[in-house]
Structure 1
Amino acid sequence: MTATPSQPYTPFVPWAQQLPRHRADLRAARAPSTRGAARDLLTLVLLPLPLLVLTLPAAFTGGGTRRWFGGRSESQRAEAQTAKDAAAATFYELDTAQRDLRISIETITAVDDSPAARRAVADFDALGRRIDEVSHTYINAIDAHDLDRDDLEASVAARARTELTKAKDELARVKQELDRFADGLGPLLGKAETQLARLAPAVERARQALLAASNALDAVRGSGLKADDLAARLAVLGPELTKLNQGAGQHGVPETLERADRVARDAEAVRAEAERLPERAAEIDRRLVSLRTRAQALTTRSGQVDPVLSELRRRFTAACWQDLQHVPDQAAETVRQAESKLAEARAARDEQRWADATALLSTVRALLNTTDEAVSAAGDRLRRLNEVQKDPQREIDRTRFAIRDAQRLAMAGRHTPDPRHARPLDDSVGRLERAVATLEGRHPDYWHFLTETEAVRRTVSRVVAQIREERGHSV
């Protein structure tokens, strides 16, 4: 097809249309001399001798099909034909390279919408326009010269050779530009191909995860457990699977990859919880029994607080026991709350509301821990007061030893202690002396004495930790 002003050249399609014709031109350019010579030779053999003599000159001129213009004309024709063949080969290489590169560009745009990818598309479009221009020039050069004409003049053949050679050179230059552009696409194309390679396995993993979750849920239901919450979570993933099946062409490669990963992750979580559900139900049953037994034991222990308080009131000053007076009532109320929550947890277990049952059991445990601490506090108070009343010197010696040990550490390697260490240690000595003084008199406050000595030891312990930390950093 000849490109005319009324019919602009379109890349790729004209070449596909004209390539067979150009190939036929190449064959036709060579065929007449061989076939014509063979036909003329056969004619000479069959003709009578007189006619042979008359025909012989014509036979050596090509059988009368082409006038003889001399060696220079045929030489120019051959060179023009060679230029035409070279231009056609270059045009074909350029066309093939552009088609291959278009596939690469489409691969990138299917995956990447970054500024770099958009620039690559724009640059490829600009190269396409440049290819259109040189291809149009090449087609015009081909159509402008019929190298098979019998009366082709040497000057015309020479001009055709020049134009075709120029067209070939322009095609080759654009091919080089296209090759350089293709080389620069390496990172973008590699990234796109990597994502595309991940696509099919990711979608398959999501499908398999959904299938495994569905099978696990069926197995749980077969054992008599409802697992309605897990079924609802699995149902939410149904539309996501539909979108995965619709493919990346409709939803985009990055979005499909992200969706596949999310579906696989959520489905795997459902599968794992479904498989753990029988064990979870058994664990809830065990906790129900254990916490009920503990609540009953605390009810019994709470009844022992009143005798302990009675002895504290009888033997020690009010300061030693007045903060414990609320323990019996508080313990009874806390146990009552725990038993109420325990009943709610049992109901949630029976209805297979596993999350609710687990949360209620945690609340019961916290209530029982609080009760246990309060009940134990009364007995511990009486025990410690008995010990200090019997031998207060033991508590005094324990505290003085802690102070002296800290003072030795503060003086180690020094002539004078650091004021930051010496001051709190000196204050601790005075505080201990004041606590010992409270034991004098008719009704000593043993509880105040115990709390003061404990406070002194905590202060000393902080100073020791500070000294060791500072020396550790200096080393």
Structure 2
Amino acid sequence: MTATPSQPYTPYMRRPRGNRPASPLRDVLTLLMLPLPLLVTAASGAFAGGGTRRWFGGRGESQRAEAQAAKDAAAAAFYDLDTAQRDLRISIETITAVDDSPAAQRAASDFETLGRRIDEASKLYITAVDAHDLDRDDLESSVASRARSELSASESELGKVKKDLDRFARSLGPLLDKAETQLARLAPAVERARQSLLAASNALDAVRNAGLQADDLAARLAALAPELTMLNQGAGRHGVPETLQRADRVMRDAEAVRAEAARLPERAEETDRRLVSLRTRAQALTTRSGQVEPVLSELRRRFTAACWQDLQRVPDQAAENVRQAELKLKEAQRARDAQRWPDATALLSTVRALLNTTDEAVSAAGDRLSRLNAVAKDPQQEIDRTRFAIRDAQRLAMAGRQTPDPRHARPLDDSVARLDRAVEALEGRHPDYWHFLTETEAVRTTVAAVVSRIREERGSGA
């Protein structure tokens, strides 16, 4: 076989295609000899096939970065909205725990409405995130662009809802301030109630150690035990407003028990003093009642029946009142011994009223005799006193006027005539001095009323 001269090999020569296997080393050398732009293009094509990563540079990577930035921004917006919603939920729970007003109920309803909007915006965000895996090696540029668009839209919606949520939170300021103020009062109020109960219990123990029973105070204190139980159960079970009201009520009632317990020894001493004083007064009235009969005897002897008839029953009534007072004093003593202080106080008040009535009746008899003696001796003094009152009223009625007001002049003229008739009645053989005294007193009362009316009208500019 004639040998064929071999041809020299150059890398730029295209080898004839045949059945020989391709040489890997040859392919690499061929790529290395290409210009750089062609090298990059060829490399991209080479690594895209056969399960290897396809490189896309330039705009592709930029779109991936933009999509990732949109994802990060949406995540930040989602986090901000979630945080704001959590904080606002605490505020709403604070308000509704304290306040059951229509405004508070409306705020809770508005928050629920906002919650539904938040859920919708969050769902839009989560759907966009789940729909696109930006870390995929084979992420298409069109997919990255769509992901960026959807994530940006979800960020925008999250931002809008966040603004509405912030606006709603600012509107809750007054309600939240009120609720927080009440919550701030809660613990101190409950503690004050507990301390008041403790102070009342200690005061009651001190009273009992002093030998006083104070059963009524003990019963009142025991009645507060269920209230203390509910206070200990807390506002979470009974509500803040109810707990605050209960704490204030317990504190007031316990303080009242403590104050009465502290005053009980003084009350016992005061009751003892009143018992002694009223007994002494009853005895003195018994003696004075015995002096009414001689006074009535003199009235009957010297004056007409009209001057003393209304005093006829004074001695018997005085004796009966004193007897009733002494019986009540014995009952009061028994109540004091049993330490039934309210009963003792009530009985002593009844005794005092009986003795006051008796004292007035007994004094009236003596006063009647003194006044009748004075007017019988010199009625002119009573007449002058009454005329002076009339003239003084007439001068006031004419002050600054040419003629008096008929509303003032008429009762004053009637008073003059009434006084004249009373004076004329004294000219009889047996004058009714008591009638004269009652008439002059009635005239002075009428004149005083006219004077008072004139001054009121002038003071008001009428």
What TM-score bracket applies, with the shorter chain setting the length? 0.7 to 0.9
Cα drift, residue 454 of structure 1? 1.2
| Equivalent in the alignment of 1:345 | 332
| Equivalent in the alignment of 2:345 | 358
Counterpart residue identity of residue 292, structure 2 = V
Counterpart residue identity of residue 280, structure 1 = R
Query: Deviation digits for residues 295-343 of structure 1, max 9, x if unmatched?
Result: 0000000111111111111111111112111111111001000101111
CA distance in structure 2 between the aligned counterparts of 1:234 and 1:321, rounded to whole angstroms: 58
Query: Deviation digits for residues 183-204 of structure 1, max 9, x if unmatched?
Result: 2221221211111111111111
CA distance in structure 2 between the aligned counterparts of 1:444 and 1:450, rounded to whole angstroms: 11
Are 1:154 and 2:141 matched, yes or no? Answer: yes
Matches within 5 A, 1:99-110: 99-110=86-97
2:223 partner SS? helix
Cα drift, residue 225 of structure 1? 0.7
Cα drift, residue 66 of structure 1? 3.8
CA distance in structure 2 between the aligned counterparts of 1:82 and 1:416, rounded to whole angstroms: 103
Matches within 5 A, 1:314-463: 314-463=301-450
CA distance in structure 2 between the aligned counterparts of 1:288 and 1:136, rounded to whole angstroms: 86
| Equivalent in the alignment of 1:305 | 292
1:474 partner SS? coil
Cα drift, residue 359 of structure 1? 0.6
Cα drift, residue 464 of structure 1? 1.3
CA distance in structure 1 between the aligned counterparts of 2:362 and 2:120, rounded to whole angstroms: 97
CA distance in structure 1 between the aligned counterparts of 2:449 and 2:350, rounded to whole angstroms: 35
Cα drift, residue 99 of structure 1? 1.1
Cα drift, residue 70 of structure 1? 2.3
Are 1:222 and 2:209 matched, yes or no? Answer: yes
What stretches of structure 1 move > 4 A for 4+ residues in a row?
A: none
Query: Deviation digits for residues 84-106 of structure 1, max 9, x if unmatched?
Result: 11111111111111111111111
Counterpart residue identity of residue 345, structure 1 = A
2:224 partner SS? helix
Percent same amino acid among aligned pairs?
A: 82
Matches within 5 A, 1:186-201: 186-201=173-188
CA distance in structure 2 between the aligned counterparts of 1:69 and 1:407, rounded to whole angstroms: 122
Q: Which has more radius of gyration?
A: 2
| Equivalent in the alignment of 1:20 | none
Cα drift, residue 67 of structure 1? 3.1
Query: Deviation digits for residues 350-402 of structure 1, max 9, x if unmatched?
Result: 00010010011010000001100111111111111111111111111111111
Distance 1:308 1:77, change over 3 A: same
Matches within 5 A, 1:14-413: 66-413=53-400
Flag structure 1 segments of 5+ consecutive residues without an equivalent. 1-49
Q: What is the CA RMSD across the aligned residues, in angstroms?
A: 2.1
CA distance in structure 2 between the aligned counterparts of 1:66 and 1:170, rounded to whole angstroms: 36
Counterpart residue identity of residue 291, structure 2 = Q
2:96 partner SS? helix
Counterpart residue identity of residue 167, structure 1 = S
| Equivalent in the alignment of 2:11 | none
User: TM-score, structure 2 length as denominator?
Assistant: 0.88
Which 10-residue stretch deviates more, 278-287 or 118-127?
118-127
Flag structure 2 segments of 5+ consecutive residues without an equivalent. 1-27, 33-38
- Number of equivalent positions: 422
Cα drift, residue 229 of structure 1? 0.6
CA distance in structure 1 between the aligned counterparts of 2:129 and 2:250, rounded to whole angstroms: 59
CA distance in structure 2 between the aligned counterparts of 1:319 and 1:163, rounded to whole angstroms: 114
Query: Deviation digits for residues 185-240 of structure 1, max 9, x if unmatched?
Result: 21221211111111111111111111111111111111111111111111110000
CA distance in structure 2 between the aligned counterparts of 1:214 and 1:262, rounded to whole angstroms: 17
Query: Deviation digits for residues 92-132 of structure 1, max 9, x if unmatched?
Result: 11111111111111111111222222222222222222222
CA distance in structure 1 between the aligned counterparts of 2:208 and 2:75, rounded to whole angstroms: 72
CA distance in structure 1 between the aligned counterparts of 2:113 and 2:331, rounded to whole angstroms: 73
CA distance in structure 2 between the aligned counterparts of 1:363 and 1:287, rounded to whole angstroms: 12
CA distance in structure 1 between the aligned counterparts of 2:67 and 2:181, rounded to whole angstroms: 48
CA distance in structure 2 between the aligned counterparts of 1:364 and 1:397, rounded to whole angstroms: 42
1:335 partner SS? helix
